[in-house]
A and B are shown apart, each in its own frame.
Chain A
Amino acid sequence: MATTLANMGPASRIISSLFRRSFVKKHVCASSRFMHFTYVPETPPKQLGVTTKMNFFQSITSGLDIALANDPSAVLFGEDVAFGGVFRCTIGLKEKYGAERVFNCPLSEQGIVAFGIGVATTGATAVAEIQFADYIFPGFDQIRTEMAMYRYRSGNEFDCGRLTIRAPCSAVGHGALYHSQSVEAFFAHCPGLKVVMPRGPIQAKGLLLSCIRDDDPCMFFEPKVLYRSASEEVPTGDYMLPLSKAEVLVEGSDVTMVGWGTQVHVLREVAALAQQKLNVSCEVIDLCTILPWDQETVMQSVVKTGRVLIAHEAPITMGFGAEIAATIQHECFLNLEAPIERVCGYDTPFPHVYEVFLLPDKWRCMEAVKRLISY
């Protein structure tokens, strides 16, 4: 099922982005390597101790390394994880922990998910990798029917809470239909799952360790465009960040902006632009956990600002933005000064050469901010 975009090494990426630049108007292209966002490194909290510079995939490896080191029951498996993974997230782990703990599986997503459920039902820790979120659907039955409902249907006699499924997700510049999808909303409709998407290396490691150690089954989606493009000082030690807790990244008073994954970086830029060009103060919230999501943090912000922009890469219809918008509308009806804006992917499959027009980029988000404040 899975094909590989394994040659997404820096060289091929630069070539392909250069190639694309000739098609794209200059002002869209902010840097020599085209990206629809700019990653700004974050500062690690001091209490987390010694740090070293890591990019996103290295921080994932660091998290997995710690998980394997501290839990002898933990195993790591998926397609091509043994040699280090097509995105290098599991590099060196087989050598360090042995082929019985870090191993390749036959090419079958339903098999990988189910195998992980089986491991977890015995109380052992299972970290399964689906090579691209786009290829998770053969495993959908196992995730939705089995993984999400194990504890419930058995009256807590059995559970698969020690299972975490990692999958690279979202746009990457040239991934087209089957290497670009943001699939979180499908899983957000499954009670029993936790669905998480980090925005950067520090956060990815802390949230991943929380997912792996959580007593409920977790879906951990890693925006693959960040694997190499996002790097910062990451604490080398063991730390966890809370699930179901949103983060207010930029404080503001006029508009609440909610996003997750790569989109958070777009929104950060929009907040700066809006301040600079429109004198509008935006509050940027990274939802971090899609299910169960942190309603309290979002509502507190909306009560303060009265205006909301929700942005995600996935198609708009039935995207998770719809759930957030409906909840805000119900909880903050009297506080709202304008209709809630959703800037999302369009209701089409994810196209190859037209990606820049589909993404909810900063210009589309800026336009929505204008609509919000002039309503």
Chain B
Amino acid sequence: MYKTVSRLLRIRVPRVACNSLVRTAAVSQARCASTSEVDKPNFPGSKSKFVSQPFLLDPDDMEGIPVYRAMNRDGVFIDESQDPKFDDNTILKMYKDMTLLNTMDRVLYDSQRQGRISFYMTNYGEEGTHIGSAAALDPKDLVFGQYREVGVLMWRGFPLIQFIHQCYGNCKDLGKGRQMPVHYGAKDYHFVTISSSLATQMPQASGAAYAYKRKKNGLCVICYFGEGAASEGDAHAAFNFAAVLDCPVIFFCRNNGYAISTPTKEQYRGDGIAARAAGYGIPCIRVDGNDVFAVYNATKLARDLCTTQNRPVVIEAMTYRIGHHSTSDDSSAYRSVDEVNQHDRSDNPITRFRNYMNRRGVWDEEKEKQWKLDSRKMVMKAFAEAENEKKGNPESFFEDVYKEMPPHIAKQRDAMKQHVKQYKEHYPLEHFQPMS
């Protein structure tokens, strides 16, 4: 049967037309292969052409993906068309949120050093990526974060004191004091609660984006992660699922050069994270993470593509982690203080934005001085208030394991209560709300 078809093709079909016809008669492929100029591979797994010489595609021969920048370090637009033309109020809000975050970081970092909270992670040097991207989103777009994206919540108006309640784990904490500090989350602000496991949020973001696509709510999902987390298997799953299932999700990578002590040259060998996107069929952009406007423009572009075409986008924001990884880390053990200072002085997102504002004439030294005082006062006031709150009722830690408490957990809760009542002098009950 096949032989017949093949023979018929050979007799009746002129050589040039062979290409289109062999698709329906795979067996005659071998015959056509000799005429390579008209032949195309018919493998289901790829779209490409044949070549007759072997060569290795070496990524080292390719130029790195360029870094998009809107304004230079002096705060001057390189190309005027890149000015998103914000009004003064928006500019001021952007600056104030970045600097308020910076002030909160300093106070909470110090408070950890004093043993008042158990743990903290600062956002130094990455404030621009948070504010720039958050400003380009719809406030209802769903955010999945890693842990160093606090500015996004700040931009959305999450009350300052709620951050501090969370770090204290007191009775006002939305998370009810169950997670370590900086694991923020708030349904009303569409910011999914942070968890410690790296990259687990990434394929979840793809799933949430798929559900948003089905809801046709016009929203997208954004997922933040560091360049270290991108090495996890979940990152691979996230990119691939989002691409194959057409999910409107922005994967926003904060490439700050380090994963704790590990420099990027020990994290990957390719051209950063952005270069991986093409392998998954995902559009990508690399952006100067210290340039708030570049981050804003890139995120806006990504969001438009996501929501109009239901495709994912990868944004890689190049930054530098100015602070220690966390309060449990002394980064001078693996990088020089000079290196850090050099980055902080020469290329800081806040400094660059302030240069822009000074040129624009909406900011000056006097305002800067006053805002420093005011913002510090705001943080200290919230801090004092949060510190005075008691922690929750001890029995509350048995709740929310399930929606309804099963009998075996209720029994364990009752046993705990009875035990603690009996041995109350051995437990710090004065710091907690009273048990029932």
Q: What CA separation (Å) do A291 and B90 show in the bound complex?
A: 52
Q: What CA separation (Å) do A68 and B211 show in the bound complex?
A: 15
B206 at the A/B interface (Cβ < 8 Å)?
A: yes
A129 at the A/B interface (Cβ < 8 Å)?
A: no
Whether B214 pairs with A158 at a CB distance below 8 angstroms is no
Partner of B245, one of A105, A124, A152, A215: A105
Whether B401 pairs with A157 at a CB distance below 8 angstroms is no
Residues of A within 8 A of B (CB-CB), count? 47
Selecting from B151-159, B190-198, B329-337, B420-428, the interface stretch reads: B190-198
CB-CB contacts below 8 Å: A317-364 with B: none
Q: What CA separation (Å) do A216 and B207 show in the bound complex?
A: 18
Q: What CA separation (Å) do A103 and B195 show in the bound complex?
A: 29
A-B contact pairs, 30 of them (CB 8 A): A105-B241, A108-B240, A111-B203, A114-B203, A114-B206, A115-B210, A118-B204, A118-B208, A118-B211, A120-B207, A124-B211, A124-B214, A126-B207, A145-B195, A146-B200, A151-B400, A151-B402, A151-B403, A153-B193, A154-B174, A155-B173, A155-B400, A156-B176, A191-B401, A191-B409, A215-B404, A216-B403, A292-B408, A295-B407, A295-B408
In the complex with contacts A106-B241, A146-B195, A100-B214 CB distance below 8 A: yes
Chain B proximity mask over A249-283: 1 for CB below 8 Å, otherwise 0 = 00000000000000000000000000000000000
Whether B240 pairs with A111 at a CB distance below 8 angstroms is yes
Selecting from B48-56, B64-72, B230-238, B370-378, the interface stretch reads: B230-238
Closest to B406 in A: A292
Task: Kindly list chain A residues whose C-beta atoms are within 8 Å of the C-beta of B404.
Answer: 215
Task: Kindly list chain A residues whose C-beta atoms are within 8 Å of the C-beta of B215.
Answer: 122, 124
Task: Kindly list chain B residues whose C-beta atoms are within 8 Å of the C-beta of A120.
Answer: 207
Whether B406 pairs with A244 at a CB distance below 8 angstroms is yes
Task: Kindly list chain A residues whose C-beta atoms are within 8 Å of the C-beta of B240.
Answer: 106, 108, 111
B183 at the A/B interface (Cβ < 8 Å)?
A: yes
Interchain nearest-CB distance for B322 vs A (Å): 29
B209 at the A/B interface (Cβ < 8 Å)?
A: yes
Interchain nearest-CB distance for B10 vs A (Å): 36
Task: Kindly list chain A residues whose C-beta atoms are within 8 Å of the C-beta of B234.
Answer: 110-111, 114, 141-142
Q: What CA separation (Å) do A114 and B232 show in the bound complex?
A: 13
B25 at the A/B interface (Cβ < 8 Å)?
A: no
Task: Kindly list chain B residues whose C-beta atoms are within 8 Å of the C-beta of A366.
Answer: none
Given A108-B237, A111-B237, A117-B207: 12 more A-B contacts, CB < 8 Å: A75-B211, A106-B244, A111-B203, A115-B204, A118-B205, A119-B210, A119-B211, A121-B208, A146-B195, A151-B400, A151-B403, A157-B186
B185 at the A/B interface (Cβ < 8 Å)?
A: yes
Whether B174 pairs with A121 at a CB distance below 8 angstroms is no
Q: What CA separation (Å) do A42 and B46 show in the bound complex?
A: 51
CB-CB contacts below 8 Å: B388-411 with A: 399-404, 406-409
B139 at the A/B interface (Cβ < 8 Å)?
A: no
CB-CB contacts below 8 Å: A87-138 with B: 100, 103, 105-106, 108, 110-111, 114-124, 126, 138
Whether A106 pairs with B175 at a CB distance below 8 angstroms is no
Closest to B195 in A: A153
A149 at the A/B interface (Cβ < 8 Å)?
A: yes
Whether B408 pairs with A115 at a CB distance below 8 angstroms is no
In the complex with contacts A73-B214, A146-B197, A118-B186 CB distance below 8 A: no
Q: What CA separation (Å) do A216 and B176 show in the bound complex?
A: 19
Task: Kindly list chain B residues whose C-beta atoms are within 8 Å of the C-beta of A156.
Answer: 176, 399-400
Closest to A293 in B: B408
Whether B179 pairs with A106 at a CB distance below 8 angstroms is no
Q: What CA separation (Å) do A194 and B402 show in the bound complex?
A: 9
A192 at the A/B interface (Cβ < 8 Å)?
A: yes
Partner of A152, one of B183, B241, B401: B401
Whether B403 pairs with A159 at a CB distance below 8 angstroms is yes
Choose among A73, A141, A152, A156 the residue with the greatest number of B CB atoms under 10 Å from its CB: A152
Interchain nearest-CB distance for A89 vs B (Å): 21
Q: What CA separation (Å) do A154 and B399 show in the bound complex?
A: 11
Interchain nearest-CB distance for B87 vs A (Å): 33
Whether B185 pairs with A154 at a CB distance below 8 angstroms is yes
B142 at the A/B interface (Cβ < 8 Å)?
A: yes
Chain A proximity mask over B166-191: 1 for CB below 8 Å, otherwise 0 = 00000001111011000101110000
Task: Kindly list chain B residues whose C-beta atoms are within 8 Å of the C-beta of A117.
Answer: 204, 207
Partner of A155, one of B175, B195, B203, B208: B175
Whether B197 pairs with A122 at a CB distance below 8 angstroms is no
Closest to A149 in B: B195
Interchain nearest-CB distance for B225 vs A (Å): 13
Task: Kindly list chain B residues whose C-beta atoms are within 8 Å of the C-beta of A168.
Answer: none
Task: Kindly list chain A residues whose C-beta atoms are within 8 Å of the C-beta of B210.
Answer: 75, 115, 118-119
Task: Kindly list chain A residues whose C-beta atoms are within 8 Å of the C-beta of B202.
Answer: 114
